């Protein structure tokens, strides 16, 4: 059993420097796309800031062109219950959680999960959108940071 992830913990998510993942708005703001949280297993990976010296470049994994966004664990959990419809037509409530999932080469690794796990893609779409909305830039991708404001 891994140590629980505290509500106060900051999480980092890598955003490749590719236009698929962000867009600059008229205001100059760089918006994070929902595609930055795509995950076929529906368990987006993140890194726990307190286990990587609060250094977002840890999450770049050597790719200095990549951007990094942060999320507060509490805000992820506060997204609320996701409802899916089971095969027998009943509503199933899924909570959103963050769990530690250390890997041999990354002790900070964690995952954003739903409990019970979402089997269907549609409800996950909502979660993806919310994660993108609460994400904040720590490091801008090279594609936009090199272009200036």
Partner 1 sequence: MNVATLKTSNTPNHLYAGNKTSVQKTPIENELTPHDPPIPQYQIIGSRALYDLLSSATVTVYVPFGAKSVDVNWADPRSATTSNTRMSSEQITSSSVYHSDSIGITLAEIEQLPSAIRRNELDWETVSNSTIVEAKTFILRFWHLVTSRLADWDSPHVASDGNGEVTFEWWQGSHTLTFFVQPDGIVSCLTSWGYHIWDEMDEIVEPSDDDLIKIWSWLRDRK
- Least distance from partner 1 to the Cβ atom of residue 100, Å: 22
Q: Check residue 115 and report its DSSP letter.
A: E
Cβ closest to partner 1, residue 51 vs residue 124: 124
Quickly tell me which residue has 């998510």 as its tokens: 13
Tokens in use for 115? 């409990």
Task: Please state the closest distance from residue 27 (CB atom) to partner 1, in A.
Answer: 9
**8 A C-beta contact, residue 109 and residue 101:** yes
Shortest Å distance, C-beta 125 to partner 1? 6
| Contact positions vs partner 1 (CB under 8 A) | 16, 18-26, 28, 31, 33-35, 38-40, 78-83, 121-122, 125-130, 133-134, 143-144, 147-149
Q: Which two tokens stand for residue 64?
A: 């200095």
The strand pairing partners of 72, in sequence order, are 10
């Amino acid at each position: 059993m891994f140590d629980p992830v505290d509500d106060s913990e900051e999480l980092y998510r890598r955003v490749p420097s590719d236009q698929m993942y962000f867009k600059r708005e008229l205001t100059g703001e760089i918006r994070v796309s929902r595609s930055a949280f795509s995950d076929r297993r529906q368990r987006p990976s993140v890194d726990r800031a307190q286990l990587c010296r609060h250094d977002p470049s840890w999450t770049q994994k050597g790719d200095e062109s990549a951007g990094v966004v942060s999320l507060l664990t509490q805000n992820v959990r506060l997204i609320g219950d996701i409802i899916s419809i089971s095969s027998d037509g009943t509503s199933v409530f899924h909570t959103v959680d963050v769990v530690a999932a250390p890997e041999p080469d990354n002790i900070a690794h964690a995952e954003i999960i739903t409990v019970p796990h979402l089997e269907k893609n549609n409800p996950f779409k909502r979660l993806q959108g919310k994660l993108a909305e609460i994400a904040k830039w720590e490091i801008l991708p090279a594609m936009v940071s090199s272009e200036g404001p």
